[in-house]
Amino acid sequence: MRIARRVEALPEYIFAQASTKIATLRKKGIDVIDLGMGSPDLPPPKPIIDTLYEAALQPDNHGYAGYYGTPAFRKAVADYYGRRFGVELDPNTEVLSLIGSKEGIANINLAFVDPGDIVIVSDPGYPTYTMGAILAGGESYPMPLREDQGYRPDLSAIPPGVAEKAKILWINYPNNPTGAVADLETYACCVAFAREYGLLLCSDNPYCDLTFDGYVAPSVLQVPGAMDVAIEFNSLSKTYNMAGWRVGMAVGNAKAIAALATIKTNVDSGIFRPLQMAATYAMNADQSWLAERNMIYQRRRDVVMEFLPRAGLRAQAPKGGLYVWARVPEGYTATEYAERALQEAGVWVTPGPAYGTNGEGYVRISLVLPEERLREAGERLASLR
C-alpha cells in the first residue's frame, strides 16, 4: 500500500493525541481533569431530546433525508438569521445543512482550492482551516492574531502577492482559541479585503450565542455587500449543547453554497432526518434558556480567571466562547507547561502551538466542567509553582 502524500503531510489531530495520553494515565488510576476539548458538558433542553426520540420512532424517518437539508430545517436556519442578525436568507439557495460545521469547513476547500492555491488562515486559529487547505492540495498562509491588537485580523501583514494567489480568507469571532470578539467595523474591513482580491471570505461563527457580560456577537453577513463575497459556518454544537449530534449549516453567497453542495452530494447523503427535526425545533423554540446557560459558563470563566494568578498564568477575560487563553509562566514553552501540568498535576490544557506558531507561550483552558472541578484544577496547577 502507498498512502497518499496529503495524508503523510497531515499531523495527528492534537485532540486525538491528547485523548491517547489521558486514557493511558486514567488506566493507571490517575484522575485527569481534561480542560482540552471544547465539548459542552451540559445537555440540550429536554424538549429537543424528546423531539429526536419521537421522530426516531416514526418508521418513515429512517431513509435518506435529502442532500441539502429538509425544507423545514433550511427555513428554520433562515428564520434564525433573520431574528438574530436581521439577515435575510433564501432557504433554497443560501442555506445548506452540514454534518457539523467542521465537515463544511474542510469541504469548502475542495470546492474552491486547487493545488498550489493559498488559503489565508488566522494564527492562532482552528486547525481545520489549515488541514482543509492541505487536503485540497493547497497551502495555508498564517494571518497573525496578536494580543496587543486584540486578536483582530492583521490584514496589513498579508503581502499583496499572497492575497492575489489566495482563494479563501478565514475569520472566526468569538474566536477559538483566544476568546476575542469582533465588531462590524472589523468585519467590514475583511469584506473589503475579500472584494479587493477576489477571495471567498469564510466566517466561522459557532460561538455567536455563547457570550458574556452583555456582549452580543454579530454576523459578518450583516455587513452591506457581504453576501457578494462571504459564507458563514454555524452549528448547533455550542449554542444548543449538541456537539455530538453533528448538525450545522453554511449560509451566505449562493454561488459558494452551490459549490459546497456539489462536493457534499458526492461525499455524503445528508443528516439523519430525526436530527434535523430536533434541530428545527431547537431553532424555532423559545430561546430564553440560553441566558441562564450562558451564566453558567460565565461563572466558570470567572472561576478560571480567579485561579490563574495563583497558578502563575495570566489572561484577559473572554467575552465569548468556551475558552480562556492564558499565557504560561516564564521559563516554559507552551508544550512544556502543558506536559508538566498533565504528568505532575493531572490537568490537561491544550498547548497554544496546536493552533499555529503565534500560539506559542499560551495554553487554552476549556470551560466544560463544573465549577468545583475547575477549582480543583486550579489548586493542582497552583501546586506546580
CATH of the domain at 215: 3.40.640.10
Which of 241, 256, 284 is where one domain is finished? 284
Do 157 and 209 have their domain in common? Answer: yes
Q: Is residue 16 part of a domain?
A: yes
Alpha-carbon distance 72 to 97, whole Å? 11
Q: Please state, as a whole number, how many other Cβ atoms lie within 10 Å of the Cβ of residue 295.
A: 11
| pTM of structure | 0.94
Q: pLDDT averaged over the chain?
A: 95
Between CA 167 and CA 327 the distance in angstroms is: 33
Rounded CA-CA distance 129/116 in Å is: 16
Q: 323 lies in which domain range? A: 5-43+289-382
Q: Is residue 54 part of a domain?
A: no
CATH number of the domain that 336 lies in? 3.90.1150.10
Co-location of 110 and 191 in the same domain:
yes
Q: Tens digit of pLDDT for each residue in 363-379?
A: 999 999 999 999 999 99
State whether 220 and 106 are in the same domain.
yes
Whole-number pLDDT of residue 180: 97
335, part of any domain = yes
261, 284, 307 — which closes off a domain?
Answer: 284
**Grid coordinates in use for 363?**
495554553
Identify the CA nearest to 143 among candidates 116, 165, 115, 162.
162
C-beta neighbour count of 322 within 10 angstroms: 25
DSSP state of 329: P
CB atoms within 10 A of CB 314: 12
307 and 210 co-located in one domain: no
Q: Which of 245, 267, 284 is the last residue of a domain?
A: 284
Is residue 50 in some structural domain? Answer: no
Q: Is residue 154 part of a domain?
A: yes
In the three-class reduction of DSSP (H, G, I as helix; E, B as strand; rest coil), residue 165 is classed as helix
CB-CB neighbours of 316 under 10 Å: 16
Tens digits of per-residue pLDDT, 331-358? 999 999 999 999 999 999 999 999 999 9
Q: What is the pLDDT of residue 81?
A: 98
